[in-house]
Amino acid sequence: MVRMTYLLLVLLLGGMVAASPGYAQTADGPAAAGAATAASAATPEPEFLKTFPRPPDQPASLLAPPPPLGPPPPDLEKPYFQQDPLLDPPWLGLIGLFADVDVGILKPHLINQLRNTVTFPDGSSTTVGVNPSHLNWTVSPRIEVGYRLPSGFGGISVAYRNMTSQGSDAVICADGPATLSSRLNVNLGDMDWVSNEYTPWGLCEMRWRCGLRYLNTYFDSQANEPFAAAAGTTIFNQRTTDSFWGIGPHWAVDLRRRLGFGGLALCGFIDLSDTWGRVRQNYFASSTTSVSGLPQAGVTSVATSVSVPALTARLGLNWQPPVYPNLRLFAGYQLDYWWNIGRIDNLLNDGFPTSGFFFDSGIVLRGEWNF
């Protein structure tokens, strides 16, 4: 019985060993692999699957950083505020600090049409109105300091200008000879952004500026007679004053046409501004007599808000030495006109419409240096 069982086990194990190679060739052999490849090639891939993203066919680690999707983005901040040979040609000025000084040799003209009533302490009154005298030639300086930015961004600047003049004339008044005198004082400050543009034409360039302007002006006129000679009208002194301060915008355009030789260029400049502020006028009169028999004086003041437009025009030649591109010299003619400096409505001025303005013209010399 034991021998029979042992014989059956040997026969069963031998059959299993003999059948295993045939089974392996049938399931995993080259023929089966070829058949599977042919079947997959015969089956086309759907179109929508071709549009899906395909991850890289490589082993990935959960701890490794993901691969970059493309080249890094460009650094957009890097090109800013760097000198560019196309945007910053040398004839437009060097990058950095710059300063310029204007010296104007100007002849101012004052128009004073201020009139008002002055009441004395004793109750009497008189109308005060003094014509202006001729003003003398004067030197008007202007100083500007700024910084020019690269890459065609223009620049920023601050400037200050002053003009002061006075004059006197001998005139004949109602009581006889008198002395007529006037004074004028103008203070102007600008804070601007200055462009750095040039036109498509090769020999032309253009700059424009805009910013805020502070304006402070003062003028007066007075007539003096000898005390003994004022017996007829009893008025031996009359004086009118006008002061204004204001802030407002201003715009300017600077056009230059290079002549193509010697560093010379024809230049034209126009500046427009409109300042809003406060104007105040005072009227003084002195009389030789009063009810008590003593001299007396009276004053009247009036103030209101007003807008003061102004124009500056300049035309001349600019010289930029080729061997010194950071230096510019200018010589030309300049005209300034200031409106409404002394304008007050008649309803605010005792029924008298007042008007006061001034203008000047002359020669301007300018020097600019780029550090």
Structure tokens at 163: 């003009």
What number of other Cβ atoms are within 10 A of residue 3's Cβ?
6
Annotate 211-257 with DSSP letters as a single string: EEEEEEEEEEEEEE--GGGTTTT-EEEEEEEEEEEEEEEEEEEEEEE
Rg (CA), the chain: 46
Structure tokens at 28: 């995993």
Structure tokens at 328: 């510019």
| DSSP type of residue 344 | B
The model's pLDDT over 85-100, given as tens digits with 9 standing for 90+, comes to 666 666 666 677 889 9
Q: What is the mean pLDDT of the chain?
A: 82
Residue that the structure tokens 């300063």 belong to: 99
Give me the helices (H) in the chain, please: 2-28, 30-42, 47-50
Q: Give pLDDT, residue 333.
A: 97
The three-state secondary structure class of 275 is strand
Domains (range + CATH), the chain: 99-370 (2.40.128)
Residue that the structure tokens 């009154």 belong to: 125
The model's pLDDT over 157-175, given as tens digits with 9 standing for 90+, comes to 999 999 999 999 998 877 7
By the 10 Å C-beta count (0-12 exposed, 13-18 middle, 19+ buried), 16 is classed as exposed
Q: Give pLDDT, residue 22.
A: 47
Interatomic CA distance for residues 335 and 271, integer angstroms? 10
Q: Give pLDDT, residue 34.
A: 52
> Do 221 and 239 meet the contact criterion of CB atoms below 8 Å apart?
yes
Ranges of residues in the chain with a pLDDT under 50 are 17, 19-29, 32-33, 36
CA end-to-end distance (rounded Å), the chain: 121
Q: For residue 362, give the nearest of 107, 166, 167 by alpha carbon.
A: 107
| DSSP type of residue 5 | H
Q: Give pLDDT, residue 369.
A: 87
Distances in Å between the Cα of 223 and the Cα atoms of 2, 23, 130, 181, 299 are 159, 136, 7, 7, 15
